[in-house]
Amino acid sequence: MQVQVLSITTPPVPASYKSPNVPSGSRISDPHPSGHRTLLPVGPAYLTHLRLSLHHKHSFSSLDKHLAAERERLAALHGDDTNGEDDLGVGDEEETQELLSLDPKEWKKQDHYAVLGLSHLRYKATAAQIKIAHRKKVLKHHPDKKAGSTSTSTAHNSLYLAGVNQNTNDDAFFKCIQKAHEVLTNPEKRRQFDSVDPVFLDFEEDMPNATEFKNKNLDFFKTLTPAFELYARFSKKQPVPGLGHIDSTKEEVEGFYDFWYNFDSWRSFEWLDKEINEGSDSRDDKRYTEKKNKSERARRKKEDIAKLRNLVDMTLSFDPRIKRIKQQEKEAREAKKRGVTPGAPAKKTKQQEEEEKKKAELEAKQKEEAEQAARAEAKKQKTAAANAAKKARRQQRAAEEAAAGT
């Protein structure tokens, strides 16, 4: 299926736009009847048209199915066509125009992995893979292969002038390939390049910072797991503990922070050094540049360490597991205080609580009963007292009357 790529961007629809009603029964104008036009019997497009009309009843979906089946059949047929050689997953990457027009003089800026067609592997590429990729590229781009002919891969422009070798800068890309090979096969140079891998730098720029994290309410694990995975490559110690998940144990979480706070990185920044002016005889000049480079390297390294540290700090501050762990610790402490074995505090407390509750209830009941009893007693006493007082008054009166009557 041919997709025509238009390099246009339509302007956005105005907010006021209301889609009109389509008149019912609207259809396209009657086509020219059959026989009105006769196709010229040439070209692959005509062949497709014939396939459609002869074998597929003008149905594109049927044709697509047929062609897909055909492709599969052919792939199966030619499947073992690679001479049984395993390319270790190097594969073939598309070479963009931009890539092919690289300037070998600017080799420091080029993406060596992309040049060798290893951008899907990058720092993970093994020495064997690099070797295979280099061989593949050399077979394709060696100047001897191109001598006197325009290559099919070097743009359509050159094809307009078929047979004329107008690409005078034919071996430019080959030089780039050689340079990339040189860098990637030398462990020290490769380490330096990997340290400032342009793709990694892009990722690094996109790394979330604390304010963003807070404002945008990003998902903790989804955002930060890849970030740590990215940095993991620089660790001298492998394997590197990952961020883990929400249910990671305390030990895991602690191990993670322990590791990242003591992160030992092999990252260095020699790659970005300014060229020492080789032509100049002045030793002072050289020394000056060297000194500058050294301080620059140190500065970058420091920055890098600080950046990572910030990231870990930020992670720690937002980590939901830390809260959980603290909570657990607190509970454990409290439980310890109450003299309960800190082994399994949660269940016990519940039982205890229930017991306490029961106890309290019982006590309250008893208390109430006692109070009631006390109140009743008091009433009795009161009435008794009143009765006694009455009795006393009556006795007094009787005594007075007796005294008066005599």
Partner 1 sequence: MSSTPIPNGSAEAPLQLSTLPPVVGINFGNSYASIAVFTKEGLAECIANEDGERQIACAVAFHGEEMYIGNQAKQQLVKNAKNTITGFRNLLGKKFSEIPQSENTTSAPVIQHPDQPDTPAYKVQVLQPAPTPLPTSAFTTPAASHAPTPRSEPVLVDRILTVSEVASIFLKSLVQSASDFLGKPIQGAVISVPPTFTPTQKSALEQAATDAGVTVLQLLDEVSAAAATTTTPIWGLEPDRTQLVVDFGSSSVSLAILSIREGLAYVLGQSSTPTIGANQIDDKLIKFFAADFTKKTKIPLNVCPAKDVTDQRAEAKLRLAIEHTKRTISASPGAATCSVESLKDGMDYTGSINRMRFDMLGSPIYATVASEISSLLSTTGLDAHDVDEVVYVGGTGCLPGLDDRLGIEVGLREAVETPFARGTVVGGGLGDPTTIIARGCAIQAALINGLGSDGEEGELRQALTGVGAEVKATTRTLGLLFPNGLEENKELGGTWVPIVQKETALPVRRVVSFEVGLSEQSKRIAFEVWEVKEGIRIEKVAPPKSSDPEDADDDDDEPEEEEVKHRTLAKERLLAVVDTQAKLAIQTKGKGRDAGKWFTHVQVQFVVDIEGALDVELKEVGEGGVVEKLRVSSL
Which CB sits closer to partner 1, 161 or 373? 161
Contact 184, 198 (CB under 8 A): no
The answer to whether residues 158 and 166 touch, using CB atoms and an 8 Å cutoff, is: yes
Token pair belonging to 353: 């609580």
CB closer to partner 1, 38 vs 262: 38
Tokens 């020495």, located at residue: 127
124 binds partner 1 (CB under 8 A): no
Give the footprint of partner 1 on residues 160-189 (CB under 8 A).
Answer: 160-164
11 interacts with partner 1 by CB under 8 A: yes
Long-range contacts of 285-288 (CB under 8 A, 24+ apart): none
* Residues 22, 25, 27: CA angle, nearest 5 degrees: 85
- What is the C-alpha separation between 326 and 295, in angstroms, rounded? 42
Opening angle at CA 264, ends 274 and 180, nearest 5: 40
Beta bridge partners of 235: 265
Distance CA 376, CA 368 (A): 12
Total residues in contact with partner 1, by rule CB under 8 A = 64
Q: Is 222 in the site for partner 1 (CB under 8 A)?
A: no
Out of 49, 122, 189, 300, point to the residue binding partner 1 (CB under 8 A): 49
How near is the Cβ of 40 to partner 1 at its closest, in Å?
Answer: 4
User: Please, which residue, 84 or 343, has the CB nearer to partner 1?
Assistant: 84
Q: Which of 8, 139, 403, 404 binds partner 1 (CB under 8 A)?
A: 8
Decide if residue 84 touches partner 1 (CB under 8 A).
no
**Cβ density class 68-79: b for 16+ within 10 Å, e for less:** eeeeeeeeeeee
Rule CB under 8 A: is residue 20 a binding residue for partner 1? yes
Q: Does 148 participate in binding partner 1 (rule CB under 8 A)?
A: no
- Shortest CB 238 distance to partner 1, Å: 25
For the bound state, the minimum distance from the C-beta of residue 125 to partner 1, rounded and expressed in Å, comes to: 18
Q: Which residue of 45, 246, 346, 376 would you call a contact of partner 1, by CB under 8 A? A: 45
List residues binding partner 1 (CB under 8 A): 1-15, 17, 19-23, 26-47, 49-55, 58-60, 149-152, 156, 159-164
